[in-house]
Amino acid sequence: MKDTSGKISGFSKLSAAEKRRTIAEHCLGNAEDSGQFEAFHFADEALQQKFEQFSENTLTNHALPFGVIPNVLVDDKLYHVPAVVEESSVVAAASKAASFWYDRGGFKTIAQESIKNGQVYFEWFDDVEWLRNNKSTFFDQLAESTAELTNNMEKRGGGIRSFLLEQMPGISKNTLKLTVEVNTADSMGANFINSLLETIATEIPVFAQKNNRKAPEVLMAILSNYTPKNFVTMQVAAPIEQMTWSKLYSPEIFAKRFVQAVNIANTDVSRAVTHNKGIMNGSDAVILATGNDFRAAEAAAHAFAARNGSYASLSEAVIENGYFSMKLTLPVALGTVGGLTKLHPTAALALNMLGNPGADELMKIVASAGLANNFAAVASLVTTGIQRGHMKLHLDNILSAEKASPTQIKAAKVWFTDKTVSVSAVREFLANSR
């Protein structure tokens, strides 16, 4: 029998079918089990091949539910927002909050900026003061060297916005950080920024040589996923008496409890992380649906949440002059052209559902979905608790996994109204009702 316990060699050179067979042999016990991967392939061969090209070593497709958050009113424009997420309560919670806020004027943009950035880190072995004094010539030469790259971006309204040169004494007296701020129009711009920075990186030694300075040494050039100047702030607001979310509390008490909960997330890291996770539930679902990079969004959001030195809530809520209001600032770099946005058929469909927005518009929708989920989560926490809603969906999932009949589903929903839902309890109920 073949030994399948060791390192696999030459894997990258195998064809897709061979890779599936090899992994089936190593991980599932038998090469013939590669059919378990193929079972999830698209019937359309060309589409399957397209998917396999998105990433390396693709074995199969991994499906997630593609849902919709209906009635998200953003700056008076109505969207039915596509959301891709595996967690059962996310879409339901966002939908409930979106509908609530639709009736109260919806989500409003109160601030937005679209400046991304990247850095070149290098050692300047010559006089740093000289470089500082000549920085405008330095920046002009760097900008000129990128003209070929920036020409097209400028036609689309983007391009380089500024340069900033800083010393990094914590590393060494020679280490410099050059920040380049850019606008990337409707593209996420990762490739554009990285190409720009790498071009600039090769120009730094050229500049030194032209000016008879010692040869500098470039360490690295890379975009930053920390995008505090690429943000949007969305807000919801309503007179206190309209805060009729809960039957358990009057609008005034509900709003007070709500604000208290957000204040706790602003001061207590234990709560802040979960609170922000609730925001990312909604935002990531739209980011994923539209073929954008949710890891970049997560990294940026959490760094931004810690911008004042301790990790805090990304959203705020206040009661002022008889009004409840809540706002969320989300730094999020998105694209609606390039990347996977048009290549991935359901990402293209998602963007189509939204009327093919530009990147700035998509940022508002993404932040509104985050705010909707955040509002729904905190509203549940300070009223019924979240388990009631979660358990309803948990029950639906278990009933579907257990292949319950429509009559059993109906009966189970009544039976579990006041009982704890668990797989074993549902199985027992189904066994007794068969």
Active site residues: 87, 277, 293, 390
CB-based contact 120:204 (threshold 8 Å): yes
Under the binding rule (CB under 6 A), the answer on residue 274 touching ligand MEV is: yes
Cα separation, 150 vs 132, whole angstroms: 25
Under the binding rule (CB under 6 A), the answer on residue 315 touching ligand MEV is: no
Cα separation, 368 vs 374, whole angstroms: 10
Cα separation, 416 vs 433, whole angstroms: 14
Q: Which stretch binds ligand MEV (CB under 6 A): 72-80, 222-230, 238-246, 274-282?
A: 274-282
Q: Which stretch binds ligand MEV (CB under 6 A): 51-59, 138-146, 275-283, 328-336?
A: 275-283
Q: In this complex, which beta carbon is closest to ligand MEV, that of residue 81 or of residue 97? A: 97
The letter for the amino acid at 409 is I
Under the binding rule (CB under 6 A), the answer on residue 363 touching ligand MEV is: no
The letter for the amino acid at 90 is V
Under the binding rule (CB under 6 A), the answer on residue 312 touching ligand MEV is: no
Q: Which two tokens stand for residue 77?
A: 């424009």
Under the binding rule (CB under 6 A), the answer on residue 344 touching ligand MEV is: no
Q: Which of 118, 158, 216, 278 binds ligand MEV (CB under 6 A)?
A: 278
Cα separation, 377 vs 90, whole angstroms: 9
Nearest to 305 by CA among 265, 335, 260: 265
CA angle at 363 for the pair 358 and 367, rounded to the nearest 5°? 150
Buried-state track 162-181, b at ≥16 Cβ within 10 A, e below 16: ebebebeeeeeebbbebebe
Under the binding rule (CB under 6 A), the answer on residue 241 touching ligand MEV is: no
Q: Which of 16, 115, 222, 386 binds ligand MEV (CB under 6 A)?
A: 386
CB-based contact 192:155 (threshold 8 Å): no
Under the binding rule (CB under 6 A), the answer on residue 275 touching ligand MEV is: yes
How many chain residues are in contact with ligand MEV, going by CB under 6 A? 10
Which secondary structure element, helix H or strand E, spans residue 27, and what is its range? none
φ, ψ for residue 25, nearest 5 deg: -65, -45
Q: Which stretch binds ligand MEV (CB under 6 A): 38-46, 163-171, 378-386, 421-429?
A: 378-386
Q: Which of 135, 161, 256, 277 binds ligand MEV (CB under 6 A)?
A: 277
Q: Which stretch binds ligand MEV (CB under 6 A): 23-31, 74-82, 269-277, 310-318?
A: 269-277
Q: In this complex, which beta carbon is closest to ligand MEV, that of residue 31 or of residue 393? A: 393
Under the binding rule (CB under 6 A), the answer on residue 32 touching ligand MEV is: no
Under the binding rule (CB under 6 A), the answer on residue 378 touching ligand MEV is: yes
Positions touching ligand MEV (CB under 6 A) are 87, 274-275, 277-278, 281, 377-378, 381, 386
